[in-house]
A and B are shown apart, each in its own frame.
Chain A
């Protein structure tokens, strides 16, 4: 309808209502003139109005409350789906029901995720379930529940998952916040699992304590990729196109949603990073960073309020984890970790014991990653090039590694003293040439190994990002120098064994000491400091 005409109808309708009921007819006839259509329209509305007192005055959810009742959900318990005997229902969400089932062929228990009975035949829901299976199957990671298969039997479509036993992190949290060591390990494990999904271009979109299981071996498994999206094939949030996520369907849990998710923008992996931040905050503090009394206020709080700093909220929590978490919780995703790998790196760094944790490549002020270089806070092993002083906490593995480098480095020079004595004592004797040659040869390994070790110490302190490369370059030189030095110490001991037995014994003792240090202590310290076992942990 023409807006002007509607406006006219609107005005006349209200103007007529202000007239005495008896005078309305005359008023309208005068007002409409010869526009009989207008007159008829307004009169019909007035007539309708006179009978509409109660019409829709009672809200629909009361007058049609019966619509909100749900038919009993048909359970699959006791049924047999292909080779699977469904034993019991272990979970229910809006888009899926999870059952515990026995695989009669392989004699193992599995978890079966099927659609709720009212959605069994809904093609959209079926497609969503298929997509979940594909997403979960794409990511092969010990931290993510394994998909055994996707099965279609008659009308039933279901995913067969490995059955992960253990409490959810929500249940674990019921016993109070996690102690900091366990917290850091748990956070790292979750970040690695989520990072593995991100590497495959899969966003979880529903990361929360209910979806993470503590496995019996103390690890974690991330469950429920029911909302997962493929990042290179994002779901349109506009009204065009076929959407698998229609309004009215469960879509994530608001309390763990990033502001951009709540605003309905396209989400990327950084939404998971936000949810991760909320999750870890909650694990550390025992309270949700945005919790308010009701869901509406919680949503508002995610959108608008800055959460209390974790370290201030929970003073016993490590300041480093607090910084990581607060970085994940930035409202603007450009200020969060740019890559999940950076988050993992910072958490690894934390595990590794270095106190300083940086920004990854998350900018703070400028919004442009390359502009944000904060040397004082850059992580020693993050991808960000940096030149800052990094001090690991006392007695952490990295601290011990540095201590080792300095002590051994100085030790070389100290050992020149007894070798000098050997040279002096053999002067004039028949082995004078040997004694003096040994001393001068010893200067070579002392120079090489001593300087290299001090160089490594210096690098780890001032140019941490270069450390790994420098270590591998220096390794062969240091090992050769160590070996030569040990040989020289033993030879020296041999030359003076008869006249100066005590000094010779000292030399032998040092040689053995050096051997033990080089073959046992140093590898252990390095492993602890750089997590070299298994390869995957090293950066």
Chain B
């Protein structure tokens, strides 16, 4: 069995575990209280990510798997939300120069996800780097460890991938825009 399959099998577990963590952070659930588990996945994940003391060598591997999971969660939620807000219409890309210069505010997860899928056809390793960095929040060093390549390679790949993706997203916006 390849690593890919292993990773995809682990994904639900990771998601589940993140949710479980999230629940744990909430403390005892009171009746009638809104369940914010998915929101807390976020917090759980951040904790996991920031816990640098972890001596466990598989931590990076776990985070790498969690990155794919996080991508899936975000995309699913973005899709669900889009479907609710726009009555099922195709979600319009709302990425623009201003937003990008603004520290990624208004990032369109769906657009990036779609572009990333295309990038994977061109260069799977670059796509994986983006997944780890953007969806997984891994540093250059962590991504290098997860992919078993040098940090310099990750850095160069990251630069090219960003340029490629940004262009792709803008092109898509152009072709679907008003």
Which residues of A approach B to under 8 Å, CB–CB?
1, 6, 10, 13-14, 17, 44-46, 48-49, 51-52, 54-65, 67-70, 72-73, 75, 88-89, 92, 94, 118, 237-239, 245-254, 257, 262-265, 292, 294-297, 299-300
Contacts and interface: CB of A to CB of B under 8 A. Distances in A.
Contacts of B70: 60-61
Given A6-B123, A295-B17, A63 B103 contact: yes
B58 A56 contact: no
Which residue, B5, B13, B63, B71, has most C-beta atoms of chain A within 10 A? B13
Given A45-B167, A59-B133, A60-B135, A264 B16 contact: no
A498 to B, nearest CB: 86
Across the A-B interface, the 5 shortest Cβ-Cβ residue pairs: A264-B9, A59-B137, A296-B62, A49-B163, A58-B104
A73 B35 CA distance: 7
Nearest to B38: A70
Contact of A297 (B58, B80, B103, B136): B58
A56 B112 contact: yes
Given A61-B46, A63-B104, A294-B54, 13 more contacts: A10-B123, A17-B159, A48-B164, A49-B163, A58-B103, A64-B78, A70-B35, A247-B72, A250-B19, A295-B21, A296-B17, A296-B54, A296-B56
Contact of A263 (B1, B32, B51, B162): B1
A230 B128 CA distance: 35
Contact of A69 (B13, B38, B101, B156): B38
B8 A61 contact: no
A64 B51 contact: no
Contacts of B147: none
Contacts, number: 198
B162 A253 contact: no
Interface residues of B, number: 76
A56 B11 contact: no
B45 A61 contact: yes
Interface in B45-88: 45-46, 48, 51, 54, 56, 58-59, 62-63, 69-74, 76-78, 80-81
B42 interface: yes
B130 A72 contact: no
Given A68-B39, A94-B19, A245 B58 contact: no
Nearest to B112: A56
B31 interface: yes
B109 interface: yes
B114 interface: no
Given A248-B72, A248-B76, A60 B107 contact: yes
Given A13-B163, A56-B162, A70-B35, A252 B134 contact: no
Nearest to A58: B104
B9 A263 contact: yes
Nearest to A297: B56
Contact of A14 (B10, B34, B105, B156): B156
7 contacts: A10-B123, A51-B97, A68-B41, A70-B36, A253-B20, A262-B10, A296-B17
Interface of B: 1, 5-6, 8-13, 15-17, 19-21, 29, 31-32, 34-39, 41-42, 45-46, 48, 51, 54, 56, 58-59, 62-63, 69-74, 76-78, 80-81, 97, 100-105, 107, 109, 112, 121-123, 130, 133-137, 156, 159-160, 162-167, 170
Contact of B59 (A44, A72, A264, A296): A296
Contacts of B8: 239, 247, 264
A49 B162 contact: yes
Nearest to B45: A61
A52 B165 CA distance: 9
Contact of A56 (B1, B41, B59, B134): B134
B55 to A, nearest CB: 9
Nearest to B57: A300
A295 B20 contact: yes
A68 B77 CA distance: 7
B162 A245 contact: no
A1 B122 contact: yes
A98 to B, nearest CB: 13
B98 to A, nearest CB: 11
A56 B133 CA distance: 9
A89 B1 CA distance: 42
B74 A61 contact: yes
A480 to B, nearest CB: 64
Contacts of A55: 100, 104, 162, 165-166
B12 A251 contact: yes
Contact of B36 (A44, A69, A257, A299): A69
Nearest to A9: B160
Contacts of B37: 70
Contact of B16 (A17, A51, A92, A250): A250
A263 B166 contact: no
B135 A245 contact: no
A264 B5 contact: yes
Given A49-B163, A55-B166, A248 B38 contact: no
B11 A247 contact: yes
B11 A248 contact: yes
A56 B123 contact: no
Nearest to B19: A94
A264 B156 contact: no
Contacts of B42: 61, 65, 68
Contacts of A67: 74, 77-78, 81, 109
Contacts of A239: 8
B5 A294 contact: no
B104 A57 contact: yes
Contacts of B73: 68, 248
Contacts of B41: 68
A296 B5 contact: no
Contacts of A72: 34
A253 B59 CA distance: 19
Contacts of A54: 100-104
B72 to A, nearest CB: 5
A62 B51 CA distance: 17
Nearest to A254: B13
Given A14-B156, A264-B6, A299 B13 contact: yes
Contacts of A44: 167
A267 to B, nearest CB: 11
